[in-house]
Structure 1
Amino acid sequence: MIGTLVNCATILTGSFIGSRLKKGIREEHQEIMMQAMGLAATALGINAIVKYMPQSEYPVLFIVSLALGGLLGEKIHLEDRFKKFVTGFSNGNLAQGLSTAILLFCVGTLSILGPMESALKGDNTYLFTNAMLDFVTSSVLASTFGLGIALAAIVLFFWQGFFYCLALLLSGVMSPAIMAEISIIGGILIFSSGLSILGIKNFRTMNMLPAFLVPAVFFIIKSFL
């Protein structure tokens, strides 16, 4: 898992550098950077939706996934628990920034394909590429939300570790079809996160994260039928 470790290290480094820059950035400049990140997240979300929607074999699956995942997230109060956790590190808007960071770092195709390529082929190219992108993103996010963005590296480690282990155990089940469905859901959640940052609508995006599990469960069950 050398690629994942490098990816996490770049997020930690980028977060530290970004948090140092925050002290030298005036409030109005931080605001415009937040708006820029909101627009960037919105654009990335739209791009993922447009790119992967045509590849979907089950056009309704992402709707069912969001509905079931959202219900599960609300049931266990995922977002409230998350915010309660991060308030121990910041009294500001760190929760919103971490929510966006986790989505941007974990949902991208590179972050899903990367650990699978690493597990199955020993190829870390995708993960190293993703590491450079996450370095820039974490620097910008930390300059707005603070050093707490580094906590996203922990989530990334377990997220990529999950796909790494899953690829080893279920190599015959994991397919481009599953990743396409997950990427569609990810694009929608990144889009909603961008709208929240821009102040257009405050979505409870964190409560929808369990939606990522639904396509995997669906395809696993389908493979045994």
Structure 2
Amino acid sequence: MIPYGSIVNSAAIIGGSMIGILLRSRFPENIRQIVFQGLGLCTILIGLQMALKVQNILIIIFSILIGGIIGELLKLDTLFERLAQKLKNIVKSENSAFTDGLITASLIFCIGAMAIIGSFDEGIRGDTTVLYTKSILDGFASIALASTYGTGVLFAFIPVLVYQGTLTIFAQTFQAWFTPLMIDQMTATGGLLILGISMILLEIKKINLSNLLPSLGVVIVLTVFFS
């Protein structure tokens, strides 16, 4: 199965990022700052909406804790930074914010509920509506992000394509596993991580979200086991 929704989503990120890069030098610092703050506030709302879908709070708590420990042991943050640095060297970018832009944009585009639900919809029902809608939103978000971080945001299309494409194919193969309860629990866990992104964007607290990503896998295992 070809994940058309993820391909369109990736194209939207590329297009939006190119616009943001072109506008970067023309945006005064105060405009870039207020756009970034607005994006941070919006991610709070998105994160809250997702987190409130929780069905079993204990599973979410243990998923975050266990996932964080796994991420620390695997040193995922160091791994992602090395991969981002290698990509930076390959494209010969001199942008000092390349790595931060790539990682931040990748987390924003991949963790959200629309990435999970949209991929499942395409894989299970062949419906790309959610992912096409997400493409529009990500396109505009990438303009704001690229105007601040620069070229690193553009290459966020790679993890988006791999992550969503894999979810789509996985959902098609294991349709029976993904019950409404499973989707709600994954969405709630992703919502907490989205709230972490908002804290970073608003410069409230630096949270090591890369090492918390395994929680999205842990919540699947715990939900299956305890339900």
What do residues 154-173 of structure 1 show as CA deviations (whole Å, max 9, x unaligned)? 11112112221221221111
Counterpart Cα distance in 2 of 1:3 and 1:80: 30
Counterpart Cα distance in 1 of 2:95 and 2:18: 19
Deviation of 1:175 (Å)? 1.3
SS at match of 1:200: coil
- What is the percentage of aligned positions where both structures have the same residue? 31
Counterpart Cα distance in 2 of 1:100 and 1:47: 20
What do residues 107-139 of structure 1 show as CA deviations (whole Å, max 9, x unaligned)? 222211222222222221111111111111111
1:173 aligned partner: 177
CA contact (8 A) 2:97 2:152 kept: no
Deviation of 1:221 (Å)? 4.5
Counterpart Cα distance in 1 of 2:143 and 2:71: 29
TM normalised by structure 1 equals 0.89
2:144 aligned partner: 140
Deviation of 1:102 (Å)? 2.1
Deviation of 1:91 (Å)? 5.2
Counterpart Cα distance in 1 of 2:184 and 2:99: 28
User: What is the RMSD of the two structures over their aligned residues, measured on CA atoms?
Assistant: 1.9
SS at match of 2:175: coil
Counterpart Cα distance in 2 of 1:153 and 1:81: 18
Q: Equivalent residues in 2 for 1:127-206 (5 A)?
A: 127-206=131-210
SS at match of 1:24: coil
Aligned counterpart for 1:109 among listed residues 113, 135, 138: 113
What do residues 45-85 of structure 1 show as CA deviations (whole Å, max 9, x unaligned)? 122223x13xx1x2211111111111111111111222233
CA contact (8 A) 1:96 1:197 kept: no
1:26 matched to 2:28 = yes
Aligned length: 219
Over 3 Å counting, the alpha-carbon distance change for 1:218 and 1:162 in structure 2 is farther
TM normalised by structure 2 equals 0.88
2:214 aligned partner: 210
One-letter identity of the residue aligned with 1:175: T
Gapped runs of 5+ residues in structure 2? 89-93
Gapped runs of 5+ residues in structure 1? none
2:47 aligned partner: 45
SS at match of 2:204: coil
One-letter identity of the residue aligned with 1:62: I
CA contact (8 A) 1:15 1:149 kept: yes
CA contact (8 A) 1:100 1:190 kept: no
Deviation of 1:14 (Å)? 0.7
SS at match of 2:213: helix
